[in-house]
Amino acid sequence: MKIAFSAERLPTSGSLVLTVSEGPEWGDVAKGLNKKSDGHLTHLAKTNQFKGKRGEVLTLLSPTGLSYDRLVLVGIGEEKDLTEQKLVEAGGTALGSLPVNKLEDVSGAVDIAGGPIDAATAAALFAQGFVLRSYRFDKYFTKTPKDKLPTLRKMTVAVDDAKKAQRAFGRFDAVSKGVFLARNLVTEPANVIYPETLAAECVKLTELGVKVEVLGVKELTKLGMGSLLGVGQGSEKSSRVVVMHYKGNASAKDKRPVAFVGKGVTFDTGGISIKPAGGMEDMKYDMAGSAAVIGTICALAARKAKVNAVGVVGLVENMPSGNAQRPGDVVTSMSGQTIEVINTDAEGRLVLCDLLTYTQEKLKPRAMVNLATLTGAIVMALGNEHAGLFSNNDDLSQQLLTAGLAVEEKLWRFPMTEAYDKQLNSDIADMKNASNERVPGSIFGAQFLARFVDKKVPWAHLDIAGMAWTRRDLPACPKGATAYGVRLLEKLVADNYEGK
Ligand code: BES
Ligand code: MN
Ligand code: ZN
């Protein structure tokens, strides 16, 4: 989707998408159009009970008195309560209500007077939502009729300070690039994206100035990552760990990087503790944590963020085979701690624990955030509304919660205590990876990870199992892979770690 900003007068023909705020008075643009149409617009809004509430849309075809083919009004709620996210959503809702296979270009405008967000930034946010919702993944359709293919390629947003809007859009567009990359990687099936090919995708970030290291089985063995390697040993596809260094702030006071760590199980059959067949195809998205990390590093590099960040992803395939790890096996992690593998389907934590040790020891981060589709239990607890947040640090937690609210990638914090930690103890090793008792599954997973984290390192674990994929269209995301985490982490960096 191409976005342009123009300070010229709003076109009077073609298709126009326009935001409308809730309240007694419409904005100047809507008022002008209403006048031109002899009050027809307010009349139509009234009969359709369109009030300008957040999420409301009213599509008018050839409205009387105006020469538009199509006028789409999108509600943004009361102007005094306007937020960045509401504008992104409005742009997404606008795109979602257009017949993208029938139009080629549209014009748009954000019709606000003043309020908390300036007009240029508002126009850029609206455009970002439009772009985010336009995502498609149709490379595997070979028979789609031509008239079903999207033809909509461009939106021109009318805004007085078009230059400023364009500048603001630069950052948002870089974020969208990271989001699209993550969605693509998650959507690709597991016969296309497996450890080797996903590592190759990471290497492509060198084009953006990212230094990428790929560690193969030999190096991982030397590092002592017995826990991570145990997960991949049943697969024909050999495991990889990829480290992506983005150094955007050479003169920082604190040169230590912010570290993002991702679970990249390119397919999770469960291994010998095999999953039931129904829905197993979903487990291609068990690498969504790593995709979020890759997308975040992409976004930061693409917009030249003033920050030192590092992404670490553990790429493995969890398969049953004659060489697969068995329930009851004991593995030695890079930290030296031993783990009894009670359940080969609790593999994410086995991958992450070695990544956390590596990140802490070799990269000395100022903060460490890991993302993982770790437990089905988090979906039972929080559904598709919040990701689970587990942390050893209140400040980092607050930063994450705040960023999550701002970009509508929400989090909910769970408790971590010694009493929960005790449940990890094994009869034969330092700990077990799962329990046969009735334990709170998501907290158990988090407590497992915590055993590998130095208490002095601010650390957070995000359990994104319920957030990585959506079965229905969302305002700024069509159904499918969400890239949850990219916008969240980019915002976390922008608000707390950039230029510092
Ligand atoms: N990848 C799954 C978790 C998952 C579930 C992700 C649903 C996305 C959607 C994870 O590896 C897993 O299998 N977890 C087990 C852990 C259990 C065996 C302790 C689970 O949640 O059932
Ligand atoms: Mn599993
Ligand atoms: Zn898994």
CATH number assigned to the domain comprising residue 31: 3.40.220.10
CA dist list (Å): 443 to 99, 349, 400, 431: 45, 12, 18, 15
Q: Are residues 135 and 25 in the same domain?
A: yes
Instruction: Tell me, using a 6 A CB cutoff, whether residue 340 lines ligand 1.
Output: no
- Residue 169 forms part of a structural domain: no
Distance 138 CA to ligand 1 centre (A): 28
| 242 φ, ψ (degrees, to nearest 5) | -120, 135
Best residue among 263, 284, 286 to mutate for probing ligand 1's pocket (most ligand atoms within 8 Å of CB) is: 286
| Beta carbons within 10 angstroms of residue 12's beta carbon | 12
Based on the fold, state whether residues 468 and 329 are members of the same structural domain.
Answer: yes
| Å from CA of 131 to ligand 3 middle | 31
Q: How far apart are CA 100 and CA 372, in angstroms?
A: 34
Catalytic, 410? Answer no
Which ranges in 204-329 belong to alpha helices (H)? 217-223, 226-232, 288-302
CA–CA gap between residue 286 and residue 229 (Å, rounded): 17
Same domain, 334 and 439: yes
Q: Which of 161, 186, 203 is the last residue of a domain?
A: 161
Q: Give pLDDT tens digits along the chain (500 positions).
A: 999 999 999 999 999 999 999 998 899 999 999 999 999 999 999 999 999 999 999 999 999 999 999 999 999 999 999 999 999 999 999 999 999 999 999 999 999 987 789 999 999 999 999 999 999 999 999 998 888 899 999 999 999 999 999 999 999 999 999 999 999 999 999 999 999 999 999 999 999 999 999 999 999 999 999 999 999 999 999 999 999 999 999 999 999 999 999 999 999 999 999 999 999 999 999 999 999 999 999 999 999 999 999 999 999 999 999 999 999 999 999 999 999 999 999 999 999 999 999 999 999 999 999 999 999 999 999 999 999 999 999 999 999 999 999 999 999 999 999 999 999 999 999 999 999 999 999 999 999 999 999 999 999 999 999 999 999 999 999 999 999 999 999 999 999 999 98
- Work out how many domains the chain is built from and give that number: 2
What pLDDT, on a 0 to 100 scale, did the predictor assign at position 500?
85
Domain contains 470: yes
For residues 22 and 58, state if they share a domain.
Answer: yes
What type of residue is 382? L
145/241 same-domain check: no
Is 167 an annotated catalytic residue?
no
Q: How far is the CA of 351 from the centre of ligand 3 (A)?
A: 10
Kindly give the distance from the C-alpha atom of residue 240 to the centroid of ligand 1, in angstroms, as a whole number: 21
3-state DSSP assignment of residue 187: helix
Is 215 among the domain residues? yes
Distance 346 CA to ligand 2 centre (A): 5
- Catalytic residue (choose from 54, 183, 263, 349): 349
Same domain, 23 and 128: yes
**Longest CA pairwise span in the chain (Å):** 82
Per-residue confidence (pLDDT) for residue 426, from 0 to 100: 98
Per DSSP, 317 falls in state E
- Grouping H, G, I as helix, E, B as strand and the rest as coil, residue 490 is helix
| CA neighbor of 229 nearest in space, from 292, 146, 316 | 316
User: Residue 426 and residue 433: Cα distance in Å, rounded?
Assistant: 9
Residue 373 counted as domain residue: yes
CB 33 within 8 A of CB 65: no
Q: In whole angstroms, give the CA distance from residue 158 to residue 241.
A: 46
Residues 255 and 183 in one domain: yes
**Which residues form the domain of 380?**
174-496
Ligand closest to CA 381:
1
| Res 144: pLDDT | 87
Rg (CA), the chain: 24
Whether 305 and 398 map to the same domain: the answer is yes
Name the residues around ion ligand 3, CB cutoff 5 A: 265, 268, 286, 348
Residue 168 within a domain: no
CATH code at position 411:
3.40.630.10
Q: Which of 161, 196, 231 finishes a domain?
A: 161
Do 344 and 474 reside in the same domain of the chain?
Answer: yes
- One domain, residues 39 and 138: yes
- CA 183 to CA 135: how far, in whole Å? 9
| pLDDT at 322 (0 to 100) | 98
Q: Which of 132, 161, 190 is the last residue of a domain?
A: 161
Neighbours of 139 (CB within 10 A): 9
Which residue is catalytic, options 247, 275, 366, 451? 275
Q: Which ligand minimizes its atom distance to the CA of 320?
A: 2
20 lines ligand 1 (CB under 6 A): no
Both 299 and 229 in one domain: the answer is yes
Give 354 Cα–ligand 1 centroid separation in angstroms. Answer: 18
Burial 443-470 (b: 16+ CB within 10 A, else e): bbbbbbbbbbbeeebbbbbbbbbbbbbb
Ligand nearest to the CA of 316: 3
Burial grade of 207 (CB within 10 A; 0-12, 13-18, 19 or more)? exposed
Residue 133 forms part of a structural domain: yes
Ligand closest to the CA atom of residue 285: 1
pLDDT value for 116: 87
Q: Which atom of ligand 1 is nearest to the CA of 265?
A: 1
Give the predicted TM-score (pTM) of the model: 0.98
**How is 371-424 classified by DSSP, letter by letter?**
EE---THHHHHHTTT-EEEEES-HHHHHHHHHHHHHHT--EEE----HHHHHTT
Instruction: Please tell me if the CB atom of residue 463 comes closer than 6 angstroms to any atom of ligand 1.
Output: no
One domain for residues 93 and 211 = no
Quick check: is 166 in a domain? Answer: no
Cβ contacts of residue 218 below 8 Å, gap of 6+?
Answer: none
**What does the alpha-carbon distance between residue 71 and residue 165 come to, in Å, rounded to a whole number?**
23
Asked whether 440 lines ligand 1 (CB < 6 A), one says no
Whether residue 388 has its Cβ less than 6 Å from ligand 1: no
Is residue 343 classed exposed, middle or buried when 0-12, 13-18 and 19+ CB atoms within 10 A define those classes? middle
Residue 406 lies in a domain: yes
Token code pair at residue 298 = 């992409």
Using a CB cutoff of 5 Å, list residues around ligand 2, an ion.
268, 345, 347
- Identity of the amino acid at 235: S
